[in-house]
Amino acid sequence: MVKTEFTEAVSYLSSTVSRSPLLPWRRYQFPIDWTAQFAAAVAAALHLEIGFGDGRYTARRALEHSNEFFVGLEISSASLQRGLRRIKKEGLNNVRLLKVGANFAVQHLFAPRSLSSITVNFPDPWPKARHEKNRLLRRDFFKLAASRLQTNGVILLATDHPDYLEFSKAEARATNLYTLRQAEPPAAVFETKYALKWRSQGKPLYYQVFEYLGTQTPVYPILKRDEIMPHAILLGSLPGQIQFEKQVIPYASGHVILHELARSLGGDGLASERWLIRATIDEEDLRQQVLVLVQRRGSYELIVRIESFGDPIITKVMRGAVHAVTEWLLTLPADIRLKERAY
Ligand SMILES: C[S@@+](CC[C@H](N)C(=O)[O-])C[C@H]1O[C@@H](n2cnc3c(N)ncnc32)[C@H](O)[C@@H]1O
């Protein structure tokens, strides 16, 4: 990648640690340096909880083990807010909550052999056969999780759903990576919001431990992030009349979709006009919506770059969005020429 004098876009990754329990994980290099995030001098046992709901179990556990680190994942914004309120109210500084799905997070945010445990309390059961593919504790996940667990690290499952229990046991056994045992759960496990609901309905509750044997797992590469915001510089000015059509462009190992273009006028009208192109960047396990910006720079230059809005994760495929817009600009019936590509 070419380095230019364009400094605004360079080095967008943060080197400071988050002061809030809500971790803006998109801003950090992967895998996350958890010891630094917890502002700790030395590493401590690192525990992950997937789908923490209202966070009451997370908080209880973190209070009981104040010298260990707890990371909670949620995909629901409402749960995230509830969990965050609870962690803040308890004044816990050994918990970080992230809004991100489990598969992506386990693979890219945690180094191999870094986790002591992964807790999954009352996962969505997806009871219909055709929805089984949505269950979290499938064999692919067991393999991925093993690659991030320490030897003898555990996956701890609580469920009210006998089918899910049997399904997850069969999936774990199929990997040959775990020993399975039933154990007495910590009291708080059956006092989460969902456990209390099921208990009040008289449903039986199950607790299952999957212990990683330490045998070889497949290798799951961690997403490599570019340090530099991709951009291109063109010579020319934005034409007044344009036609824009949706485009789908294969790039690197994924796809870029350019959906629509919006023109934004600044204070001095056309002179500060910006074009914002809404794009989807589609790659394995990661789908991002971004804005590609085309803007005047100096008197006769245009810059094409990714807007930093939304904390995009800059990957190889993301560079394809700058490429696609640059190539499209060069096809316009205007005197636009390429000065440099930095992507
Ligand atoms: C049935 S609730 C259980 C919540 C909590 N563990 C409890 O026991 O009260 C399942 C939770 O998992 C979350 N969830 C589902 N799929 C997830 C995923 N792939 N990554 C992270 N959280 C997920 C849901 O948003 C929901 O809050």
Per-residue pLDDT of 28-71, as tens digits, reads: 999 999 999 998 888 899 999 999 999 999 999 999 999 999 99
The ligand 1 atom nearest the CA atom of 195:
8
**Distance of CA 52 from the midpoint of ligand 1 (Å):** 6
Side-chain-side CA neighbours of residue 58 (13 Å): 38
Q: Do 137 and 169 contact (CB within 8 A), yes or no? A: no
Residue 244: C-alpha distances to residues 98, 231, 273, 289, 330 (Å):
37, 20, 16, 18, 13
What's the whole-number mean pLDDT along residues 114-142? Answer: 95
Residue 291 clears pLDDT 50, i.e. is over it? yes
Atom of ligand 1 nearest to the CA of 121: 6
Specify whether the CB–CB gap between 150 and 111 falls below 8 A. no
Q: Mean pLDDT check: name the lowest of 13-27, 129-143, 203-217, 327-341.
A: 13-27
Highest mean pLDDT, choosing among 128-137, 171-180, 257-266, 311-320: 171-180
Instruction: Tell me the percentage of the chain whose pLDDT exceeds 70.
Output: 95
Mean pLDDT, residues 260-266: 88
Alpha-helix runs per DSSP H in 92-150: 102-108, 139-148
Does residue 145 carry a pLDDT above 90?
yes
Residue 177 near residue 212 (C-beta atoms within 8 A):
yes
Strand order in the sheet with 286-297: 247-251, 254-266, 269-283, 286-297, 301-306, 231-235, 337-342
Task: Give the N- to C-terminal CA distance of the chain in Å, as an integer.
Answer: 6
pLDDT-derived band at 7 (thresholds 50, 70, 90) equals very low
**How many whole angstroms from 290 Cα to the centroid of ligand 1?**
26
Burial of 169 (0-12, 13-18, 19+ CB in 10 A): middle
Q: Of 53-67, 94-108, 113-127, 214-228, which gets the smallest average pLDDT?
A: 214-228
Ligand 1 geometric centre to CA of 102 (Å): 10
How close is the Cα of 303 to the center of ligand 1, in Å?
A: 42
Work out which ligand 1 atom sits closest to the CA atom of 102: 20
Asked whether residue 267 carries a pLDDT value surpassing 80, the answer given is: no
Q: Which atom of ligand 1 is closest in space to residue 56's alpha carbon?
A: 9
Residue bearing the CA closest to ligand 1, atom 11:
51
In tens, the pLDDT along 269-279 reads 666 789 999 99
User: Ligand 1 center to residue 29 CA distance, Å?
Assistant: 26
Ligand 1 pocket: which of 75, 118, 199 to mutate (most atoms <8 Å of CB)? Answer: 75
| One-letter amino acid of 257 | I
In this predicted structure, the answer to whether residue 212 has a pLDDT above a threshold of 80 is: yes
Residue 261 has pLDDT above 50, yes or no: yes
136 CA closest ligand 1 atom index: 19
Which residues contact ligand 1 via a Cβ below 6 A? 50-53, 73-76, 79, 101-102, 121-124, 136, 192-195
Residue of 81 and 195 predicted with greater confidence: 81
Choosing from 47, 48, 52 the residue with most ligand 1 atoms within 8 A of its CB, the one to mutate for a pocket test is 52
Residue nearest ligand 1's atom 24 by CA: 51
Between 280 and 225, the more confident residue is 280
Here the tokens at position 305 are 């770059």
Q: What is the pLDDT of residue 155?
A: 98
Whole-angstrom distance, CA of residue 58 vs CA of residue 106: 18
252-256 mean pLDDT = 95
Exactly one of 33, 124, 140, 285 is catalytic; name it.
124
111 CA distance to ligand 1 middle (Å): 23
* pLDDT tens for each residue of 307-338: 988 889 999 999 999 999 999 999 998 899 99
Residue 288 is predicted with a pLDDT of 94
Choose the residue to mutate in 86, 120, 194, 198 for probing ligand 1, maximizing ligand atoms within 8 Å of C-beta. 194
Helix pair 77-90, 56-64: axis angle to 10 deg: 30
Q: Is 33 a catalytic residue?
A: no
Tell me the two tokens of residue 325: 């817009």
pLDDT at 187: 86
- Where are the alpha helices (H) located in the chain, listed in sequence order? 34-37, 56-64, 77-90, 102-108, 139-148, 162-175, 193-200, 316-331
Paired tokens of 102: 């489990």
How many Å apart are CA 13 and CA 38, to the nearest integer? 18
Q: 139-148 and 162-175 helices cross at what angle (nearest 10)?
A: 60
Mutate to test the pocket of ligand 1, among 57, 61, 76 (most ligand atoms within 8 A of CB): 76
Q: What is the mean pLDDT of the chain?
A: 92
Q: Are 267 and 53 in contact (CB under 8 A)?
A: no
Q: Which atom of ligand 1 is nearest to the CA of 101?
A: 20
Residue 243 pLDDT greater than 80, yes or no: yes
Domains delineated in the chain: 25-212 (3.40.50.150), 231-342 (no CATH)
Q: Is the predicted pLDDT of residue 222 greater than 90, yes or no? A: yes
Q: How far does residue 294's CA lie from ligand 1's centre (Å)?
A: 39
Q: What is the pLDDT of residue 3?
A: 46
> CB under 8 Å to 316, separation ≥6 — which residues?
224, 226, 251, 252, 253
- Mean pLDDT value of segment 114-131: 95
What confidence tens digit (pLDDT) does each residue in 81-99 have? 999 999 999 999 999 999 9
